């Protein structure tokens, strides 16, 4: 059997597994797996350094199927390569409840899948983060321990999405030479020919951003392999345009959008079998083909064991540090550093903006947690995410711990997901809260995947002042709180900021958003050893007597509530203040604990310089709200709080009004 | 006085107005106005066809300051040109409460400003929509009536944002030859040199997408003018890189990020006055300079009056149609068409997906409302936004009414804003609800500006099935409802879909989102002449007897609630069903009306295949909720509703439980 014949049969195994699984599910996308089967066969059997028996081996190559709708390509390959959990039964249960073969690849469901894809553009941008992590870890641990590549298979749709272009710009700038993107250049998108909506010369476009580019016949395995080998030496990231035929092999539907997103149908499948000379029944893999694939799968083991020997030979402390950061465990010294920081902050009582508090926390913990890799979307001085002495990574030196992401919030957020997925580093960002809208598709994926990604979002209300409504978040707290599995924290002062940072770092199974003020805030939290923010809400100021009023507030409005408390108590109304750094953490507590925190004061008022949505889920219907009902305006922040009626006086008035009613 | 000297003084007037206003406000961005003053002077005095005495004249050229932080450049120019409302007093009140000179340009606040900018990338993408609208209207009305250009001044940050790249791709593809982008190529971003985070060759990058590109000295007025004149004949959109010095003229801060975003300070301002030979006091414009500017401002009037004469000469019906669509008034026949459609739908009782209902509505109303310009982000067959016989626009023929936007949700949404702002057309989109996340920054701007932009968002819940959690919206209804001034509507059937379309079209002061199902839904709404959806919620099925249970639901869950009602009434529990097509419309009604719709049944249950957030604001705390608390999963839709417990049985159980409690 010639090598080409063997390749063809191995590729056809992907094609038939895919089309048959889609047919059985009566749902799915056969076009991409059939079109890109040759690319995948070359990549997985000749190029990728992976070991199916150790899917999480740290120095493996990464493969990202950015065009996630082609998931059957990946499941086929994982099965054929011998990933033990991806059984033929699972392939037969493609897209069924409880299978490990969902409609789009989900890394938290299927071992061997590096990231969750489907929303176009995310995969390639996530892969940029993986390649950054590799380069950063190699700078820290050396090429003996960290030396792998990141490969992406993407579609036209991926390249049309802006997020991919942000990521491509960054990858070119940072000279991520171990990133290779194979573009399934099939000239077809869902609506029909790609020429319906685009005429960009993608090779020229990527070359403009510092990529090596080339074009090959995507059905010529030798040409594909040669292009990949050339890419390895390019010294920059590479885009390989692979001209393919969508639905390759299907006599009537190949080359047409009809092959993209629905089952081919029994007749076309039969015709494809005839055309490609494939006699095996559905889900039956000829033994020569399976043997070929399994041999390729087994080849990775030697790489892994050699690497394990190198790891074992490391000095004990280096090895322990590598293994600790790979496992995502925090250093033991962190807790003490946070406790000391809080005690000092509570003693100093310096009124600073919580964005500044965050910088102070970073100064204190960055030396303790060297695996943190932070940055800012070109707002470094505003987000305060650069710790004292933190060095920025540059194209030629990745030993630093700070990233100048440029004005690319979306690309940044997706790349952060890639850094977290890669393991070994803890990514955090800097951005304005209002521009979390630019990041949402990637933040959502972080929440879905349950990755530790930390978004530092500053300038968190009308308090930012003169920049006006385009820059003033109003709905963003609610919109972020609506995302399942995202931890949203809005600390009230320097102490709570430290506590929220600690929670974000310790929370390994979901992303966090730290919502920070531009304006100065006094220190109110006690600063003891216990992390009070962990409960989501706690009484920060007790009433002077039996509470008649409970005030609930977050972030910058906690000190505003404290002012209102003073005024109410001056009028003889005992008032307590509850700080609510996190809705999610509070709502996760047992009902009795929540009731105790909410208390039984006859009047309840919530204060937050944002829309009301979400507060009723904490407090029921028996409360008044002081906050925003519209977009903001351009004026000094203090004028705006007055203009929009978010003042201690307004809180007092609402509290007294509720006392009268009750 | 030489022409160059005159130009310099006119440009310096922008520089000093800007730096002095920023200084007075103690807040703002002097760097861009000072750096781009020469570009703006050339553009406004030699190129733009505008008339300060008629800021809304339909055939004016459009100017978009994509780099909105440079707002003082625009206010300076508007004042100097003679826009009557932009007085010197307003410039002195830059960034103060109630002024018409807010921190970033807001078109709804200041006459002469074409769109609201500040979030980077939005301006250039919005301008692409304006240029599309011009080309489409010229195809409809001829060049005698519609023949103007769109100019953009953008920054490095604008070009880094993915949304600008999506828009640039599209502009190149559509050969928007009347779009000219002037890039303030000053090599500086907030963090410092742009080389910190980028090395893309922007001219090559735009050329790859079919743009004409050139580079000029951005302080050489003759070169700038020549480049613009050349761009007019390029036959494609043009990018002119204008190499400038940020903060031009400031001896110490020019060329540095220090000039970007804060006042220069008294000392540097004095030094700048000396360096540029400017002797006038702050806010004092030398009379020769003001005369020069005012003469340029007055020059536009002749263009306008000539155009008005051409408009007056049109046949009465053509003129009436032009004026109607420019004013955004709907044709009188629309109401009848909708009423007839509803009557037929209620009689036919065909169970179809509401995305299909929406297509049927479009088929019925597109002939009546020819100014509709719809499209899809490469999901035409899934979003059902292409009406029968609708022709797609192509680079060479803009007479169509459908846009193949490509996989560019964000660029699409921003361009739709531009189409709406341009006037004369009503833009609507097609996309998946889950990918509204990609569109949010632009949707938010539409809401802030109060523009009639209609987002058709299909595949609105786990009901979409096998594509899995990456494609299943869970939090998106809440997240969209959180945006102030956005109308979110989720119709239950074909009748409500028609009603919601009518509301969206009739709502001229805010954008709408139509949230539509992938799965079939029975017709339940009565289909009478009255638009019941306008109230936001109404009793769609009365109880058989005095209601013991009220079920509240939206969209696809209304028919699920109807099933539960049947089951409850079979058990002798009279149950009514309230359909809630729109939270916003309902919450805007008087409390007494809302109370009447909510009713006094002892048990209330809300059903929505989404997170609970927001429902308490409608129903208080005394209700049960059947919905989602996590991300979805990949499986057939029906299996998922069962898996996540969103079933008639679950509704019945919750209702009976609440009856027991109450």
- pLDDT tens digits along B196-236: 999 999 999 999 999 999 999 999 999 999 999 999 999 99
Domains A332-515 and A535-661 share a fold: yes
- The end-to-end CA distance of chain B, in Å, is 88
Mark B535-570 as b/e (b = at least 16 C-beta within 10 Å).
bbbbbbbebeeebbbbbbbbbbbbbbbbbbbeebbe
The whole-number average pLDDT for the span B413-425 is 98
The whole-number average pLDDT for the span B125-129 is 98
Identify which of A529, A480, A447, A373 has the alpha carbon closest to the alpha carbon of residue A489.
A480
The question of whether A409 is a catalytic residue gets the answer yes
**pLDDT confidence of A527, banded at 50, 70, 90?**
very high
Q: What confidence score (pLDDT) does residue A2 get?
A: 78
* β A512-515/A487-489 pair status: parallel
Q: How far is A621 from chain B (nearest CA, A)?
A: 5
Give chain A positions within 8 Å (CB) of B157.
378, 407
Alpha carbon A602 to its chain's center: 43
Other Cβ atoms closer than 10 A to B484: 18
Beta-strand ranges (E) seen in B109-194 are 150-154, 179-185, 188-189, 192-193
Is the pLDDT score of A626 beyond 60? yes
- The domain locations on chain A are 4-305, 332-515, 535-661
8 Å CB contact of B636 and A196? no
Do residues B212 and B238 touch, judged by C-beta distance below 8 A? yes
% of chain B residues with pLDDT over 90:
99
Q: Name the CATH superfamily housing domain A332-515.
A: Thiamin diphosphate (ThDP)-binding fold, Pyr/PP domains (3.40.50.970)
CA distance B539 to B594: 11
Strand partners, B179: B150
Q: What confidence score (pLDDT) does residue A662 get?
A: 73
Give chain B positions within 8 Å (CB) of A409.
161
Do residues B616 and A619 touch, judged by C-beta distance below 8 A? no
Give the phi and the psi of residue B246 in degrees, each rounded to 5: -60, 140
**pLDDT confidence of B573, banded at 50, 70, 90?**
very high
Is the pLDDT score of B160 beyond 90? yes
**pLDDT confidence of A486, banded at 50, 70, 90?**
very high
Strand partners, B630: none
8 Å CB contact of B201 and A191? no
Identify which of A660, A555, A550, A635 has the alpha carbon closest to the alpha carbon of residue A598.
A550
**pLDDT confidence of B621, banded at 50, 70, 90?**
confident
Give chain A positions within 8 Å (CB) of B201.
208-209
Give the phi and the psi of residue A210 in degrees, each rounded to 5: 90, 25
Token couple for A398:
């990745």
Minimum Cα–Cα distance from A116: chain B residue: B470
Q: Is B119 buried (19+), middle (13-18) or exposed (0-12) by CB count in 10 A?
A: buried
Q: Looking at the partner chain, which of A116, A120, A475 has a beta carbon nearest the beta carbon of B484?
A: A475
Q: Looking at the partner chain, which of B444, B470, B639 has a beta carbon nearest the beta carbon of A448?
A: B470
The answer to the question of whether A186 is labelled as a binding residue is yes
Instruction: Identify the residue among B107, B162, B431 best suited for mutation to test binding to A, counting A beta carbons within 10 A and taking the highest.
Output: B162
The answer to the question of whether B186 is labelled as a binding residue is yes
Give the phi and the psi of residue A582 in degrees, each rounded to 5: -150, 120
Looking at residue B581, the DSSP 8-state letter turns out to be S
Residue B249 Rama label (left phi>0; alpha psi -120 to 50; beta): left
* Neighbouring C-alpha atoms within 13 Å toward the C-beta of B465: 16
Q: What confidence score (pLDDT) does residue A661 get?
A: 86
pLDDT, tens only, A554-594: 999 999 999 999 999 999 999 999 999 999 999 999 999 99
Q: What confidence score (pLDDT) does residue B120 get?
A: 98
CA distance B158 to B170: 16
Q: What confidence score (pLDDT) does residue B181 get?
A: 98
**pLDDT confidence of B662, banded at 50, 70, 90?**
confident
Q: How far is A5 from chain B (nearest CA, A)?
A: 34
| Catalytic residue from among B409, B451, B496, B557 | B409
CA distance A353 to A181: 42
CA distance B149 to B162: 24
Q: What confidence score (pLDDT) does residue B1 get?
A: 52
Torsional sign, CA A446, A450, A451, A455: positive
Three-state DSSP at A458 gives strand
- Fold entry, domain B535-661: Rossmann fold (3.40.50)
If you average pLDDT over every residue of chain B, what do you get? 97
Q: Looking at the partner chain, which of B118, B470, B611 has a beta carbon nearest the beta carbon of A470?
A: B118
Do residues A361 and A373 touch, judged by C-beta distance below 8 A? no
pTM here is 0.98
Is the pLDDT score of B125 beyond 70? yes
The answer to the question of whether A199 is labelled as a binding residue is no
**pLDDT confidence of A194, banded at 50, 70, 90?**
very high
ipTM above 0.90, yes or no: yes
Q: What confidence score (pLDDT) does residue A1 get?
A: 52
Contacts for B447 with CB less than 8 Å, ≥ 6 apart: A631, B483, B484, B485, B486, B510, B511
Q: Is B617 buried (19+), middle (13-18) or exposed (0-12) by CB count in 10 A?
A: buried
pLDDT, tens only, B437-473: 999 999 999 999 999 999 999 999 999 999 999 999 9
The count of CB pairs under 8 A between chains A and B is: 350
**pLDDT confidence of B2, banded at 50, 70, 90?**
confident
Q: Is A251 buried (19+), middle (13-18) or exposed (0-12) by CB count in 10 A?
A: middle
pLDDT, tens only, B133-149: 999 999 999 999 999 99
Q: How far is A55 from chain B (nearest CA, A)?
A: 23
* Neighbouring C-alpha atoms within 13 Å toward the C-beta of A622: 12
Token couple for A625:
């709200």
Helices marked H in A388-455: 409-422, 436-449
pLDDT, tens only, A445-476: 999 999 999 999 999 999 999 999 999 999 99
Q: Looking at the partner chain, which of B405, B471, B621 has a beta carbon nearest the beta carbon of A616?
A: B621
Q: Name the CATH superfamily housing domain B4-305.
A: Thiamin diphosphate (ThDP)-binding fold, Pyr/PP domains (3.40.50.970)
pLDDT, tens only, A363-404: 999 999 999 999 999 999 999 999 999 999 999 999 999 999
The answer to the question of whether B260 is labelled as a binding residue is yes
Token couple for B264:
């220069």
Mark A224-250 as b/e (b = at least 16 C-beta within 10 Å).
bbebbeebeebebbbbbbbbbbbbbbb
pLDDT, tens only, B488-542: 999 999 999 999 999 999 999 999 999 999 999 999 999 999 999 999 999 999 9
8 Å CB contact of A408 and B162? yes
Identify which of B149, B133, B134, B159 has the alpha carbon closest to the alpha carbon of residue B66.
B159
The answer to the question of whether B7 is labelled as a binding residue is no
8 Å CB contact of A103 and B209? no
């Amino acid at each position: 059997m010639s090598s080409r014949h063997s390749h063809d049969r191995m590729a056809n195994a992907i094609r038939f597994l895919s089309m048959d699984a889609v047919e059985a599910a009566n749902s799915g996308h056969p076009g991409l797996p059939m079109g890109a089967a040759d690319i995948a066969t070359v990549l997985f059997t000749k190029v990728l350094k992976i070991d199916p028996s150790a899917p999480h081996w740290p120095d493996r190559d990464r493969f990202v199927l950015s065009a996630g709708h082609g998931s059957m390509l990946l499941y086929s390959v994982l099965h054929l390569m011998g990933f033990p959990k991806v059984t033929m039964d699972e392939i037969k249960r493609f897209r069924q409840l409880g299978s490990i073969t969902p409609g789009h690849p989900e890394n938290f469901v299927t071992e061997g899948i590096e990231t969750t894809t489907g929303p176009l553009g995310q995969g390639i941008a996530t892969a940029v983060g993986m390649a950054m992590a590799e380069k950063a870890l190699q700078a820290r641990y050396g090429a003996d321990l960290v030396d792998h590549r990141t490969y992406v298979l993407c579609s036209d749709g991926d390249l049309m999405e802006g997020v991919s272009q942000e990521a491509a710009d960054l990858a070119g700038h940072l000279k991520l030479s171990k990133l290779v993107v194979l573009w399934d250049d099939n000239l077809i998108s869902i609506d029909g020919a790609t020429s319906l909506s685009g005429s960009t010369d993608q090779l020229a476009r990527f070359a403009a951003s510092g990529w090596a580019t080339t074009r090959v016949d995507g059905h010529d395995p030798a040409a594909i392999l040669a292009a990949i080998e050339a890419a390895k030496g390019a010294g920059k990231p590479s885009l390989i345009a692979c001209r393919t035929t969508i639905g390759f092999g299907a006599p009537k539907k190949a080359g047409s959008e009809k092959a993209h997103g629905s089952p081919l149908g029994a007749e076309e499948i039969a015709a494809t079998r005839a055309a490609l000379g494939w006699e095996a029944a559905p889900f039956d893999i000829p033994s020569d083909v399976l043997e070929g694939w399994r041999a390729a799968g087994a080849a990775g083991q030697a790489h892994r064991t050699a690497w394990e020997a190198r790891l074992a030979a490391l000095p004990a402390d280096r090895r322990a540090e590598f293994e600790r950061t790979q496992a995502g465990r925090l250093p033991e010294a962190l807790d003490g550093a946070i406790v000391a920081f809080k005690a000092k902050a509570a003693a100093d009582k310096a009124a600073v903006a919580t964005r500044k508090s965050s910088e102070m926390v970073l100064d204190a913990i960055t030396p303790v947690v060297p695996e943190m890799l932070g940055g800012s979307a070109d707002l470094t001085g505003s987000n305060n995410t650069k710790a004292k002495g933190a060095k920025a990574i540059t194209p030629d030196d990745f030993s630093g711990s700070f990233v100048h992401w440029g004005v690319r919030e979306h690309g940044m957020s997706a790349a952060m997901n890639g850094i977290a997925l890669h393991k070994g580093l803890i990514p955090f960002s800097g951005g304005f809260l209002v521009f979390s809208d630019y990041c949402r598709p990637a933040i959502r994926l972080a929440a879905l995947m349950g990755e530790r990604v930390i978004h530092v979002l500053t300038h968190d209300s009308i308090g930012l002042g003169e920049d006006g409504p385009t820059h003033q978040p109003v709905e963003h707290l609610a919109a972020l709180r609506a995302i399942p599995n995202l931890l949203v924290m809005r600390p009230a002062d320097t102490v709570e900021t430290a506590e929220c940072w600690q929670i974000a770092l310790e929370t390994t199974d979901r992303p966090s958003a730290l919502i920070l003020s531009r304006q100065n805030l006094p220190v109110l939290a006690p600063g003891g050893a216990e992390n009070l923010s962990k409960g989501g809400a706690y009484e920060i100021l007790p009433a002077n007597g039996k509470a008649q009023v409970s005030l609930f507030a977050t972030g910058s409005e906690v000190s505003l509530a404290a002012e209102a408390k003073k005024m109410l108590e001056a009028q003889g109304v005992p008032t307590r203040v509850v700080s609510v750094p996190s809705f999610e953490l509070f709502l996760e507590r047992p009902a009795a604990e929540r009731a105790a925190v909410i208390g039984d004061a006859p009047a309840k008022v919530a204060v937050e310089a944002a829309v009301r949505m979400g507060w009723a889920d904490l407090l029921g219907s028996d409360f008044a709200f002081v906050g925003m009902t519209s977009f903001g305006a351009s004026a000094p922040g203090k004028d705006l709080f007055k203009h929009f009626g978010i003042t201690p006086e307004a809180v007092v008035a609402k509290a007294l009004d509720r006392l009268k009613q009750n």
